[in-house]
Every structure is written in structure tokens, then in C-alpha cells.
Amino acid sequence: MNLCLIILQFEESDSIHCRQKLRAEWRNGWIINCRLLVPSFLLFLLFCFTAASPVHAQDRTVHLVHADSLIGYTIGADSYRELIGHVTLQHVNTVLRCDSALQNLTMDIVDLYGNVEVRDDTLTLLTKRARYSGKTSTVTTNTPVYLNDRKRTLTADSGSYDSQTKVAHFFSNVFVRDSVSHLRAQRLIYYRDDGKTIADMQVRIRSLQNNVTIYGSHFENYEKRDFSLMSGKPLLVQIDTSSDGKIDTLMITSKTMQAFRDTSNQRFVAEDSVLIIRGSLSARCGLGTYFSKDSVVVLQKKPVVWYEDNQLTGDSIDVYIVNKQVSRVNVIGAAFAVSQSDSIYTNRFNQLKGRRLTMFLKDRKVDRIIVESNATSLYYLYDKNKPNGINRVSGDRVVMYFTDGKIDRIAVISGVEGDYYPEKMIADNTGIYNLTGFVYIKNRPERVDFPASWK
């Protein structure tokens, strides 16, 4: 039994009654209550001796710092005490506050009730009810919880925090807010010392800086490395207003998405089965990287880009963005451009190929396409909307000019060679005139719908 020192000052009329009550209560335990008129320094002594001995570095039990009243008793082999009113306890560097508490001294467990507050250096955790274990240094709650840790706040339906390992777990309707983003998930683990966060199940992250929202089922953030990863069918959505006032929606899907936020080379990487949709532009590739400093998207691993009626393929494709609009597209290595020549004659395709191709845009329309190095063009001719054969031209450089998205004229520069095939030779055998390497890809990406539960 802990050493008890009780210093009380009773009013004269109450002294006999209170003494009798104290003797009766003492048989089953001990009690501090009953109209105490104790000077503050005596009250301090009272709690020091009845709660526990002073805290030493090697002593890791939960210690009582203050309570308005205290009742001690035993049940079986376990010793308990009820703490009522302005309760404050301490375990190593963790401070616990609440309206009332039930402390199991034998098991070193405290059940906390009403306005529960847990402080661990810069971290503050608030809830209605919780249990704290001195053996594991863990506070656990099944009631709504609020956490504040310097740069971020968090709410959830339940959770736990280990003040020894500095690891927190939260469950159901988890919401994290900081100065640049909002995160929602159904499960989250927060590693304070490592600056690491792992979120699972219906993860949604919204950036406050660029109105980007990313959805997925698994998210990892490494604050010290300025690196984030989203997996589990991730979807990126950005709703933006372009310089001409039109609404642009960007949608990207892939198997994984990574963000590298180091100041010298900030980039966003989508990998494996990448689909991109924005206005008139669609794309497919195995690897897509957006470099924020240069405002360029680099598409690799069998990239295909569609813009209006034009299809571009090559070893690598760079998409440049100026004022939130696509300004040009560079195709490097095995460059090939294909567009349907007429909506009625669906099996006739205008074609451009070379080692390098650049498509320039103006007012959201294709303005011209330049092909360099072993450049070859094939385009179909029409006379009053009737087919009139094929022109095939090659040279060091070919420039194809467009008006309202349709070919207007073609210029061939240096080393010009050309052939014309009249309509009677073509008939229905247009395929044999296609340039080497021609392929028309029909699975152009369309708008992606994300799960209704995330809306």
C-alpha cells in the first residue's frame, strides 16, 4: 500500500462526522473528499504522497499530478483510484488531462473521461473518452479524435497514439489539413519522427495551390524526402480556367503516381498504363513525367498523342504548355503523324513521318506540323469533295499548314521527290500506299469516371 499522509482542517461542527466517515471508508480503501479546507501547499503534499512517489527518470508509471477529489479501493488483486475534477496525470513527457478518470494502479492503465487532452511536446490530441497504458505509452480512443501537430491538424472517428515510438493510427473518416493540401482516407498511419504518412482506402488529396485532386486506394508521403506516392488505380483531376475563360479539365490515370518536390527538379511521374485527357488532347504511354519548372510533359514507352483529328506516335513525345494551353508537341525518334483525310472516306489517312516532328498550335487549333530528317508526306486529294488521288512527297523538311484543323497546303524543302497516284489506281486498295510504319490506333482515351463514393 502506498504511504498516505492526510492533512485536513475541519470545521468544528463537522469534525466528528467526518472522522467517523473517514474511519468507515478507510476499512475498504482510502478517500480524500469532504469539505476540505486545505492550504495549497498542504494540498500539494497530499497529492504527492497519496498518488505516488516523485517521478524519477527510471520510473515509467503514470503519475497523478492533480485531481479535485480521489477515491481509492481494491477489487480482487487490482488497486484502483477514481479521480474527479480537473484531473492531470503525467507519464514521462506525456501529460494527460480530463474531467474524471479511473486508474488501475496494478495494470498501470488509466481510463479518461470528458474533455480528454493528451500532450506530447508539440502534439495535442483531444477526444471525449480514451484509455492510456503506461506499459505501452499508448493512448487509444473509440470516440471522435482531433490531433494538432504544428503544421497540420487531423480528425478521425477513432485512433491511437504511441508517445514512445511517436506513431499514430487513425480510422474512419480521416481528414488531414495543412497549409497546402487536404487529405481524406479511411485509415492512416502517421510516423512523427520519420515525417512519414501512409493512408489507405478511398484516399483523396486536394492541392490548394493548383486545384488538383488525386484519388487512389494507397498513399505514402515522405516529408523529409519531399516525395509522395499514390497507387491503387490512382486518378488525377484538375479543373481549371484557361486564359480565354474556358473550363479545362485534366484527367490522368495510371498504376502509380509519384511526386518529387525537391526545389531543383520538381516533377510528377505517372507510370504504367498511363492515360491523359485534357480538352482536345488525349494520350497513352507507359511513362509520363511533368516537369513543373519547364511546363513540359514528357511521354515515353510507346507514347501516342491525339489532338483533335491528329494522331502522333514516336519514341518520345514532349508536350509544352503555355498559359495553361498546349502550345506545341515535339515527337522525337520514329515520328509519325496520322489524320483522317475525310469523314466520309474513313479508310484514307493523311500521313507524315521523319526522325523528328513538331506540331504547333494556335488558339487551340493545329496551326502547322513540321517534319525534319528523312521527311515524307502522304496526303489525299479531293476535287469538289470527290476523291482525286494521292500525293506522296519527300525531302529534308516537310511543313504541313492547317486551316480550321484541316490541311491547307504542304511545303517541301530541299531534296524534293514526289509521286502522284490517280484515283483510278487507288480504288479500294488505299492500304498499299500507306507509309512504312503506319498504324492507326482506335482506343483513344475518353473521360474517366471516378467512384461515386469519392465525389
Give the tens place of pLDDT for each residue, 227-274. Answer: 999 999 999 998 876 656 667 788 999 999 999 988 778 899 999 999
**Which tops the pLDDT comparison, 219 or 308?**
219
Q: What integer pLDDT is reported at residue 274 of this predicted model?
A: 95
Q: What is the mean pLDDT of residues 384-402?
A: 90
Helix, strand, coil proportions of the chain in percent (round to 5)? Answer: 10, 60, 30
Q: What is the pLDDT of residue 434?
A: 94
Confirm whether 52-206 and 265-275+284-455 share one CATH topology: yes
Return the bridge partners of 125, or none: 118, 147
Find how far residue 321's CA is from the centre of its chain.
24
Length of the chain: 455
**Greatest alpha-carbon span in the chain:** 126
Give the CATH number of domain 265-275+284-455; options: 1.10.287.3240, 2.60.450.10, 3.40.630.10, 1.10.443.10. 2.60.450.10
Distance CA 9, CA 39 (A): 9
Cα–Cα distance for residue pair 43/24, rounded to 1 Å: 22
pLDDT of residue 446: 81
Q: Which residues contact 228 (CB under 8 A, 6 or more apart)?
A: 219, 220, 221, 222, 258, 259, 261
Q: What is the pLDDT of residues 395-404, one digit of tens each?
A: 999 998 988 8
Q: How far apart, in whole angstroms, are the C-alpha atoms of residue 216 and residue 429?
A: 48
Q: What is the rounded distance in angstroms from the CA atom of residue 414 to the CA atom of residue 403?
A: 24
Q: Domain 52-206 is in which class?
A: mainly beta
Query: What does the pLDDT average to over 291-305?
Result: 92
Q: What percent of the chain has pLDDT over 70?
A: 84
Q: Assign 44 a pLDDT band (cuts: 50, 70, 90).
A: very low
* pLDDT, tens digit (0-9, with 9 covering 90-100), for 10-41: 333 333 333 333 333 433 344 434 333 333 33
Average pLDDT score over residue span 357-378:
91
The 3 state secondary structure assigned to 186-200 is: EEEEEECCCCEEEEE
Q: What is the mean pLDDT of residues 279-293?
A: 91
pTM, rounded to two decimals:
0.79
- Whether 280 has a pLDDT exceeding 50, the answer reads yes
Q: pLDDT value at position 309?
A: 87
Q: Which H/E stretch holds residue 47? A: helix 40-51
Q: What are the CB-based long-range contacts (under 8 Å, 24+) for 418-425?
A: 418/391, 418/392, 418/393, 418/394, 419/391, 419/392, 419/393, 420/389, 420/390, 420/391, 420/392, 421/389, 421/390, 421/392, 422/388, 422/389, 423/387, 423/388, 423/389, 425/389
Q: Is the pLDDT of residue 8 over 50?
A: no
Decide which of 197 and 365 is more confident.
197
Domain borders along the chain are 1-51, 52-206, 265-275+284-455
Question: Is 80 exceeded by the pLDDT of residue 154?
Answer: yes
pLDDT (tens digit per residue) in 110-122: 999 999 999 998 9
Q: What is the pLDDT of residue 404?
A: 81
Q: What is the CA radius of gyration of the chain?
A: 36
Place of cell 478517500: 31
Which triple of cell numbers denotes residue 108? 498501470
**pLDDT computed for residue 242 by the predictor:** 61
Task: Please provide residue 46's backbone torsions phi and psi, each rounded to the nearest 5 degrees.
Answer: -55, -50
